[in-house]
Amino acid sequence: MKCETITGLGEGNGQKQENNSEASHNITPLLLDSWKPYKGTRANVKERLLKLRDCLESVCGIQWYGFATLGILTAVLSFLMDFSVAKLLQAHLWLYGKLEGHILLQFLCWTLYPACICAFASSFSHNICPFSTGSGVPEVRTMLSGIEVPHYLSLTNMFTKFLGLTCTLAAGSTVFLGKVGPFVHLSTMLGAYLDRLCRLIQGKKKDAGTEMMVVAAAVGVASCFGAPVSGVLFSVEVMSSHFALRHYCPCFFSAACGGLTFHLLSAWSRDGETLQALFKTNFPTATPFFPLEILLFALLGLLCGAGSRFYLFCHRWILKFTKTNRVFLTMLTTEKGLYSGLVVFFLALLTFPHSAGQYLASKWTTKQLLTSLLDSRQWSSQSHNASVRLELDSLEWSSSGAPIFLSLAFFLLMKMWMLVLACTLPLPAGYFMPVFVYGAAVGRLFGEGIAYVTTGRDVLGQQWTSVNPGGYALAGAAAFSGAVTHTLSPALLAVELTGQVTHAVPALLSTLLANALARSRNGLSFYDGLSISKKLPHLPSLKKACPQLPSTPLGQVMGVKSVQLQKAAGPAEVQSAVSNSSEAQIPVVDSHAEAESCFFINWMIIAFVQRIEGRLDEVCSIRPNSVVVSPHNTVQEAYNMLSVAPAQTIFVADRGKLVGQITWSEMKQILVGLAKDI
């Protein structure tokens, strides 16, 4: 424990004096350890560093450099990962191509490569850091709502997650998992480290706030696709109940830095590509869509909403199944590597291009798949007329000569259960991009159908010459992924990814309707399901799973009475209170001689107290401001109050008597208790 004497502070100048003590802290962390050698040189270097810091601070606060660094570093990580994954996928396809003619070798190459990679990723992440598996978004959401989740921000986790995710992505379209979720998590870990660094440079000793994490959530999405605006909207959406406006500018700033770096790296690495949208499309600009098509977009939204409910049902079922079935349970707890290897081998068996894979476009990467689905040209007419058949697009989708509708329907049918199965893999992996592509395929099938039916016909007096199936694929992708995650930002993401602003309104409409269907009757989102399955203390998910839960009165769920001190307490009492309490602050109550039941908190001790002579209120800096609620207030109300309360502490008093104190750690205990009941 540290030894600090605390001078008595008046009530008014508390703030001021705090600033002064901050200023005196500024120098200490860099000039400590005076016993080390090369005193002169070190002092010189440190002085220059301090000057540099002052120079930097004169432009803007240190944390802004932190935000910029966060954006840039995340984008560099994202680019590095994309680069390595591309090389690994290329190597796989090269090998597969070289073995042309030897079907057995080709088969082994096709199946063993992803199986080995995934088995490795699984055992690696299990052994180094078991918390690195999965998407990480449910944990990030919990942390953003103010509750600490241990182990999820460690450096080991970051390293493991990065390597594991690269392996997962290198398994390609066989495993068909994405990178968004883990990237949000990676960026949060990076943010936590940069936050500590900024605090070290500033010489602040306060606890880390959630600001850097809110920003990091935005940067994760922004750097993944170079889409800053949807990144910020994602960050707004994952915040539990209130988005604080002071985070708005940092979010945009960091996301813009990340997006810019991502675009610039792409532009500089590949000579041909410039600063365009990631999935560039060539939608016709003259007539993006006919007014009446709006109704079809709405119908597509409802279709995607229904599809998402089915997917979520299957996902929850398999989550439950793996937790109750004995074989799965044993495999998943003891033999993670083997399980991953077997499942991926089975999936690869199906996607092998000489078996069912020929209908699944399995040779394509996720990016190629999405680009082909978003193509504005009509496929069905191309299939009709062999002379205008386009080599690139139709090659994979109807390589066996099967009609395009059958091919797409088979793709949808197979990918649904394959995706649900892949979600059980104990790997670092994202579940957003697959749903996005799946939605695009749903939209494409719908759009191709519309185009086939309307070509050359009059629809209510209008000649629908060229219905664009790519537009439906865009809206479908946004609607399906939005419905699965219960968010609206995919609509904007789809626009930012493709550069089609004209389709923003239809995509938004489809996403809204899909969301309405997915959320009806307290439907759980994908992340809610994971949160509840993992028993995370995340209030909004608990609320959806069991709507009456957050209105439990506080008195029913509160823990033991907290340590408290009398205002006139002597040294011995303070000593024992400090040794009994693990908190940095202890409530001080003011008792009036006669009234036995009349305790009331008005003060709090700011720091650990060790050496005390005289009365408590004479020696200690005591904060007189406090927020008090009653035990009859609900958990939800206490939660809301806590998120805006000064010093992040609220007191619970029943008829004037202090019965407890709630900080985020108490709130976490309460929520964990509630989560157990579900």
- Check: CB of residue 177 under 8 Å from CB of residue 429: yes
Is 289 a residue that touches a second copy (CB under 8 A)? yes
Is 103 a residue that touches a second copy (CB under 8 A)? no
Q: Give the nearer residue to a second copy in terms of CB position, either 176 or 436.
A: 436
Is 495 a residue that touches a second copy (CB under 8 A)? yes
Q: What is the Cα–Cα distance from 678 to 669, expressed in whole angstroms? A: 15
Q: What is the Cα–Cα distance from 571 to 613, expressed in whole angstroms? A: 6
Binding track, positions 510-539, relative to a second copy; x by CB under 8 A: --x--xx-----------------------
244, 295, 392, 413: which one binds a second copy (CB under 8 A): 244
Residue by residue, DSSP assigns 100-145 as TT-HHHHHHHHHHHHHHHHHHHHHHHHHH-GGGSB--HHHHHHHHT
Q: What is the Cα–Cα distance from 426 to 342, expressed in whole angstroms? A: 12
**How many Å from the N-terminal Cα to the C-terminal Cα in the chain?**
40
Q: Give the nearer residue to a second copy in terms of CB position, either 326 or 521.
A: 521
The piece of 109-117, 147-155, 169-177, 496-504 that touches a second copy (CB under 8 A) is 496-504
Rounded to a whole number of angstroms, the minimum distance from the CB of residue 294 to a second copy is 7
- Find the helix packing angle between 293-324 and 326-334, rounded to 10°: 80
Is 20 a residue that touches a second copy (CB under 8 A)? no
Q: Give the nearer residue to a second copy in terms of CB position, either 36 or 592.
A: 592
DSSP alpha helices (H): ranges in 464-615?
Answer: 469-485, 489-498, 504-519, 526-533, 539-545, 554-557, 571-580
Q: Which of residues 581-610 bind a second copy (CB under 8 A)?
A: 590, 592, 594-595, 597-598, 600, 602
Q: Please, what is the Cα angle at 260 between 71 and 268, to 5 degrees?
A: 115
Q: What is the Cα–Cα distance from 545 to 676, expressed in whole angstroms? A: 12
Please give the DSSP secondary-structure letter assigned to residue 561.
P
β strands within 384-508, DSSP E: 458-459, 462-463
The piece of 19-27, 333-341, 528-536, 641-649 that touches a second copy (CB under 8 A) is 641-649
Two structure tokens written together for 308? 């998402």
Q: Which of residues 266-285 bind a second copy (CB under 8 A)?
A: 267-268, 274-277, 280, 285
302, 355, 637, 668: which one binds a second copy (CB under 8 A): 637
Q: What is the Cα–Cα distance from 126 to 566, expressed in whole angstroms? A: 50
Rounded to a whole number of angstroms, the minimum distance from the CB of residue 492 to a second copy is 6
Is 245 a residue that touches a second copy (CB under 8 A)? yes
226, 231, 337, 523: which one binds a second copy (CB under 8 A): 226
Is 626 a residue that touches a second copy (CB under 8 A)? yes
Is 645 a residue that touches a second copy (CB under 8 A)? yes
Q: What is the Cα–Cα distance from 236 to 218, expressed in whole angstroms? A: 8
Is 295 a residue that touches a second copy (CB under 8 A)? no
Distance of CA 326 to the CA centre of its chain: 31
Q: Give the nearer residue to a second copy in terms of CB position, either 303 or 425.
A: 303
Is 664 a residue that touches a second copy (CB under 8 A)? no
Is 11 a residue that touches a second copy (CB under 8 A)? yes
Q: What is the Cα–Cα distance from 637 to 552, expressed in whole angstroms? A: 10
159, 243, 345, 346: which one binds a second copy (CB under 8 A): 243
Is 215 a residue that touches a second copy (CB under 8 A)? no
110, 131, 225, 253: which one binds a second copy (CB under 8 A): 253
Two structure tokens written together for 349? 């068996």
- Number of residues lying near a second copy (CB under 8 A): 86
Is 640 a residue that touches a second copy (CB under 8 A)? yes
Is 239 a residue that touches a second copy (CB under 8 A)? yes
